[in-house]
Amino acid sequence: MTWLVTGGAGYIGAHVVRAMLAADHDVVVLDDLSTGDPARLPAGVPLVTGSTLDRALLDRTLREHAVTGVLHIAARKQVGESVEKPLWYYRENVEGLRVVLEAAADAGVRSFLLSSSAAVYGMPDVELVTEDTPCAPMSPYGETKLAGEWLVRAVGRAHGMGTVSLRYFNVAGAATPELGDPGVFNLVPMVFERLDAGEAPRIFGDDYPTPDGTCVRDYIHVADVAEAHVAAVRRLTTADGGTDLVLNIGRGEGVSVREILDVIGEVTGLDTTGEVTPRRAGDPARVVASADRIAHELGWKARFDVHDMISSAWAGWRTRH
* Residue 123 neighbours by CB under 8 Å, 6+ apart: 136, 138, 282, 284, 287
Clarify whether 141 is annotated catalytic.
yes
What pLDDT does residue 241 have? 64
Inter-residue contact 172 to 309 (CB < 8 Å):
yes
Q: Are residues 268 and 292 in the same domain?
A: yes
Inter-residue contact 156 to 104 (CB < 8 Å):
no
Active-site residue (options: 141, 168, 208, 219): 141
Q: Residue type at 10? A: G
Per-residue model confidence as pLDDT tens for the chain (321 residues): 899 999 999 999 999 999 999 999 999 999 999 999 999 999 999 999 999 999 999 999 999 999 999 999 999 999 989 999 999 999 999 999 999 999 999 999 999 999 999 999 999 989 999 999 999 999 999 999 999 999 999 999 999 999 999 999 999 999 999 999 988 989 999 999 999 999 999 999 999 999 999 999 999 999 999 999 999 999 999 876 679 999 999 999 999 999 999 999 999 999 999 999 999 887 889 999 999 999 999 999 999 999 999 999 999 999 998
Inter-residue contact 26 to 3 (CB < 8 Å):
yes
What pLDDT does residue 240 have? 61
What pLDDT does residue 165 have? 98
Inter-residue contact 171 to 220 (CB < 8 Å):
yes
The CATH number linked to 146 is: 3.40.50.720
- Considering its fold, how many domains does the chain have in total? 2
Boundary-marking domain end, from 201, 231, 249: 249
Q: Are residues 183 and 272 in the same domain?
A: yes
Full-model pTM:
0.96
Q: Are residues 77 and 136 in the same domain?
A: yes
What pLDDT does residue 223 have? 98
Q: Are residues 114 and 136 in the same domain?
A: yes
Q: Are residues 153 and 14 in the same domain?
A: yes
Q: Are residues 39 and 147 in the same domain?
A: yes
| CA-wise closest residue to 7 among 60, 49, 45, 55 | 49
Burial class (CB in 10 A: 0-12, 13-18, 19+), 43: exposed
| CA-wise closest residue to 296 among 248, 233, 227 | 248
**What is the rounded CA–CA span in Å between residue 251 and residue 254?**
8
Q: What is the 3-state secondary structure (H, E, C) of the chain?
A: CEEEEECCCCHHHHHHHHHHHHCCCEEEEEECCCCCCHHHCCCCCCEEECCCCCHHHHHHHHHHCCEEEEEECCCCCCHHHHHHCHHHHHHHHHHHHHHHHHHHHHCCCCEEEEEEEHHHCCCCCCCCECCCCCCCCCCHHHHHHHHHHHHHHHHHHHHCCEEEEEEECEEECCCCHHHCCCCCCCHHHHHHHHHHCCCCCEEECCCCCCCCCCCEECEEEHHHHHHHHHHHHHHHHHCCCCCEEEEEECCCCCEEHHHHHHHHHHHHCCCCCCEEECCCCCCCCEECECCHHHHHHHCCCCCCCHHHHHHHHHHHHHHHC
Q: Are residues 115 and 182 in the same domain?
A: no
Give CA 131 to chain center in angstroms.
Answer: 16
The CATH number linked to 268 is: 3.90.25.10
At what angle are helices 222-238 and 11-22 packed, to 10 degrees? 50
Residue 206 structural domain: 173-218+251-320
List, in sequence order, every residue forming a beta bridge with 165; answer none if it has no partner: 114, 246
Boundary-marking domain end, from 230, 249, 268: 249
